[in-house]
Structure 1
């Protein structure tokens, strides 16, 4: 039912927040959350829990993530330090602009859309930085699930049905994910024995994916299909080191974000532009106008200046740029869109342990089931991040080039207070909706003191397009959930926005948030009602 006015303050959540005293996890599938909760309940820390959850996610949500994708994590340690782990691989060494002569954009699917997967490298680095248990132990539940099969949820069955024709075109993908070339029905156990063996092998030796037999097999497969990989770019993608997180002060709190190639800086810039303008009723037309305007400007900055190996992204966060952006929003002078689609498939998870250690982890194949091709004999479906993220725009800082990572949609965040204490940790999937919805989540939490479940279930909106290669030049839209209410939607139209209603819950995303109540000594978690996840406390 559509409401007719925005709330004066956030109501109680549609579902009560999960509570915990010693630790908590939240993810978009119950089996993923259960894996993390089991680790915490038996003495593991938040890094252990996140690693166990990530591997189970490969089986529970195979359209959203996998060994053949990328992964990013943000970790807050008990001493207050925050580090980022960015697992994003290079495109092929032979992938010069000249190689794609005659094309206006890279193919969306197939071998030419693939970048070297960074997920295994990121998870291996995360493990080395603070896990207390071995990877074979942490990934053993995923191996068992892959061998026995996990019943398909409505989400997975629906994803497979929508993409069955494309997946059936590749024999190894069809054998891995389909049954008689059809999508398994809800409740069908989807066993993946080849993937089980791959997970087991990589748990014992993650580096083998980049320099060993697994790498050689992948490179030979892709090169045979015309993708100009040499193998050297695989080896170069296999080393991930902890990096300093980006951060910005907002409402007396520090918001920490993942660095480039992620768009974490866009969340920080949007918050800076909107600070002080969101104190009125949440999700009223004025608030949405500010948030949408800040998003539109951030995407314009990204298209104009950002590349994974340049510093152009820093321009939007400079004081003069923030002031100029605020003037533009007040005047209704928003930039024309360059192009991006908040569609896309990713999944994310969060974990907090009793010592105050927190992990926000997000991983993806780019679009649903990535490139739609599988390394023979492995069960590993490959990403299409290069096709989604890199441009064929001559001279652009995101133009496809060897040893240049394509720009990413994934980002992860956490919030600490002025004493350095953990307050909130979260993330959401959703393509270029991520940087917008994460900004909205943080505003709900800090501007309006929303609880985590209320924050993740709040009505959502997103500007379209932003900067995805596929959608350059599309007409501007503001896609809004109907639950924003008639008064807000009409007010946005009056402010010049091309409002496109998407249904009460149709914006997308699957946000996860865990909050710390230091005064009362407990954790509270929320898992987005738009998907099938759950927050669990221990």
Structure 2
């Protein structure tokens, strides 16, 4: 059974600021900015751009991005960058299909990442995007060494990548999978990063947007171009928040599933025992996740409301009764996987950023805007439904529901206590709930929290796997007694190995008593937390 005996089990420490990300080069970029006197917003923006080079399967200019920002005065803002599907993408356009294709031009939505990052820049940066993204331009020109993670991603998707000339030139040197350590220059992408640093709107209007729309039209995706212009501006939004364990937990609003994390916490508040990750605790957390996914499938679309349990004590109590009785809803359908990357940054003035980016599935749609090195996402194919009348049914100017979300925790005085996030598709809302529970219910330090054995209910609510049989996927490190206990509680337990659940969590905690930060970076990937 996992225990968390020390609130600061092995973790990186810093007193003037800290960053954590899933690749050392990403963390180094953020730490460099903090050391030069930049804010956490500056650091996060620099990290975001380096991530496009360090983890090309997980994120990119052609993807989406979401962020939460905690300001020194205690206010919290959300920045939600996801785009629309094509204006010609009516339900009739996909007649005869069971689901929208997961890959290719029909799976694409307008990229939201650049618009979100430009809005984030306006909200608290002290340095220009040109300066903040210059290191990424240099790295793209020189090439970052290929990691084991990227080599594995390329190997798994070689045939898709080889079909696009720009991707093949950048990621399949010599026509084959690069060896670990091979530098992968991306000269076209370097030019695109430089261009968008000077003018972020260029992705949404003008020649670059016209080139994207023309290419997608040629591949039978019915974009008009107007939906690209409509996605150019992201405005800060109010973050969702919920009380849990004597703290305030903040989350990103729709179209993200941040509300699902808050609902799970509402159901679990005061119900989890003293033993971390006992069979009873896992059962309760898994039950709360299953109910949240059923609620999402039944009611949630990006332009719908009334899907949250928050403020509805009767609904919370009904959910608790279902978990206690074992009367959990059946599966709606989804795979708790997906390729995304997350990063966090804090500075000595109390700013904090939780930022997450994604192409949806690995390497997104598998196509680029020609001549730019910009790989496009496949969020429409992943997120939108072809279920008539459903609030998430595909239609023009309706954003598909999303898997990305970001969180942070404050005390009653608005002081930052914890900030974090994780990639992992529909696993995100489950693992983020588990992280918050480890930190607040059991006093875990950030490294202990991100490395704790994790689990996820399958399926969730992705479009492509509706109706899959219910499973509880668990890491073996929970131990045989816990797994047997979960089976007795009615779960179909599927072990995934000691570290095989997925995700790459990042957490930074603030120790106000000692005036320092503690950070943890998930051992399931190649990241690091760095303090300055």
1:314-340 alpha-carbon deviations (Å, 9 max, x no partner)? 256622111110000000000001011
| Residue 444 (str. 1) matches residue 438 (str. 2) | yes
Name the counterpart of 1:113.
107
| Residue 80 (str. 1) matches residue 40 (str. 2) | no
Task: Tell me which of 186, 195, 204 is aligned to 2:189.
Answer: 195
Task: Tell me which of 206, 209, 218 is aligned to 2:212.
Answer: 218
Unaligned runs of 5+ in 2: none
Q: Secondary structure at the match of 1:513?
A: strand
Name the counterpart of 1:350.
344
Name the counterpart of 2:379.
385
CA offset at residue 147 of structure 1?
0.2
Is the 2:341–2:504 contact (alpha carbons within 8 Å) kept by the matching residues of 1?
A: yes
Q: Secondary structure at the match of 1:424?
A: strand
Task: Tell me which of 89, 99, 106 is aligned to 2:93.
Answer: 99
Name the counterpart of 2:487.
493
Name the counterpart of 1:327.
321
2: CA distance between counterparts of 1:334 and 1:426?
29
CA offset at residue 306 of structure 1?
0.1
Task: Tell me which of 276, 280, 289 is aligned to 1:286.
Answer: 280
2: CA distance between counterparts of 1:223 and 1:117?
16
Name the counterpart of 2:509.
515
2: CA distance between counterparts of 1:391 and 1:535?
38
Name the counterpart of 2:365.
371
CA offset at residue 15 of structure 1?
7.6
Name the counterpart of 1:206.
200
Change (3 A) 1:316 1:394: farther
1: CA distance between counterparts of 2:60 and 2:417?
30
Name the counterpart of 2:331.
337
Relative to structure 2, which stretch is displaced further, 179-188 or 93-102?
179-188
Name the counterpart of 1:55.
49
| Residue 21 (str. 1) matches residue 18 (str. 2) | no
Q: Secondary structure at the match of 2:408?
A: strand
Q: Secondary structure at the match of 2:353?
A: strand
2: CA distance between counterparts of 1:213 and 1:233?
15
Q: Secondary structure at the match of 1:314?
A: coil
Name the counterpart of 2:405.
411
2: CA distance between counterparts of 1:107 and 1:180?
30
Task: Tell me which of 237, 245, 258 is aligned to 1:243.
Answer: 237
What is the correspondence of 1:115-134 to structure 2 with a 5 Å cutoff? 115-134=109-128
1:159-216 alpha-carbon deviations (Å, 9 max, x no partner)? 1111111111122221232112222110000000000000000000000100121111
2: CA distance between counterparts of 1:174 and 1:139?
24
Is the 2:8–2:444 contact (alpha carbons within 8 Å) kept by the matching residues of 1?
A: no
CA offset at residue 280 of structure 1?
2.0
| Residue 165 (str. 1) matches residue 154 (str. 2) | no
Name the counterpart of 2:422.
428
Task: Give the RMSD, CA atoms, in angstroms.
Answer: 1.1
1:275-307 alpha-carbon deviations (Å, 9 max, x no partner)? 111132000000000000000000000000000
Q: 4+ runs of 1 displaced by more than 4 Å?
A: 11-15
Task: Tell me which of 267, 271, 291 is aligned to 1:273.
Answer: 267
1: CA distance between counterparts of 2:6 and 2:222?
54
Is the 1:301–1:316 contact (alpha carbons within 8 Å) kept by the matching residues of 2?
A: no
CA offset at residue 127 of structure 1?
0.3
1:378-401 alpha-carbon deviations (Å, 9 max, x no partner)? 000000000000000000000000
2: CA distance between counterparts of 1:362 and 1:15?
25
Output the TM-score relative to the length of structure 1.
0.98
1: CA distance between counterparts of 2:6 and 2:136?
36
1: CA distance between counterparts of 2:398 and 2:118?
22
Name the counterpart of 1:304.
298
1:234-280 alpha-carbon deviations (Å, 9 max, x no partner)? 00011100000000000110000000000000000000001111132
Output the TM-score relative to the length of structure 2.
0.99
Q: Secondary structure at the match of 1:407?
A: coil
1:27-58 alpha-carbon deviations (Å, 9 max, x no partner)? 00000000000000010000000000000000
Q: Secondary structure at the match of 1:276?
A: coil
Name the counterpart of 1:156.
150
Name the counterpart of 1:259.
253
Is the 1:298–1:316 contact (alpha carbons within 8 Å) kept by the matching residues of 2?
A: no
Name the counterpart of 1:231.
225
1: CA distance between counterparts of 2:54 and 2:41?
20
Name the counterpart of 1:3.
none
Q: Secondary structure at the match of 1:267?
A: helix
2: CA distance between counterparts of 1:449 and 1:315?
26
Change (3 A) 1:38 1:278: same
| Residue 183 (str. 1) matches residue 177 (str. 2) | yes
2: CA distance between counterparts of 1:224 and 1:301?
38
2: CA distance between counterparts of 1:127 and 1:420?
22
Name the counterpart of 1:506.
500
2: CA distance between counterparts of 1:182 and 1:124?
36
Is the 1:267–1:438 contact (alpha carbons within 8 Å) kept by the matching residues of 2?
A: yes
1: CA distance between counterparts of 2:312 and 2:115?
33
| Equivalent residues, number | 532
| Residue 535 (str. 1) matches residue 522 (str. 2) | no
